[in-house]
Amino acid sequence: MSWKSKESKRLIQAILALKTDDEARRFLRDLLTEKEIEEFSKRFQAAEMLTKQVPYLAIEKETGLSSTTVARVAKWLNGTEGGYRAVINKLHQHTPAQSRRGLS
């Protein structure tokens, strides 16, 4: 996979163009299947739980993810790209009222 392909760059531009929770929700729903949305949501939940030092078994039980997937999320969370950490840090910088804006 290449992040430098024009298709990958265009997808990133599309994500960056989103301004509201509703725009993001609608775009993701059109882009992904319901199962993919559920899977990605669970992976992100696992990443947040891992930052709170929740044990793998508890994460597996809470999310329904396999031990392999939890381990993969942990690897990416602690890896050099830092995508999960960057987003989690940004979300934790907002006040609870800001984080809920537009969500219902």
Q: Domains of the chain: which residue ranges? A: 1-31, 34-104
* CA–CA distance, 99 with 30 (Å, rounded to integer): 23
Tens of pLDDT, residues 18-41:
999 999 999 999 999 999 999 999
Nearest CA to 18 among 102, 89, 83?
102
Is the Cβ–Cβ distance between 76 and 43 less than 8 Å?
A: no
* Percentage helix, strand, coil for the chain under 3-state DSSP, each rounded to 5: 75, 0, 25
Residue 9: what pLDDT?
95
Tens of pLDDT, residues 50-62:
999 999 999 999 9
Predicted model pTM: 0.82
Banded model confidence at residue 102, pLDDT cuts 50, 70, 90: low
Residue 78: what pLDDT?
92
* CA–CA distance, 18 with 95 (Å, rounded to integer): 20
Handedness of CA 60, 64, 67, 68 (dihedral sign): negative
Residue 104: what pLDDT?
47
* CA–CA distance, 12 with 31 (Å, rounded to integer): 13
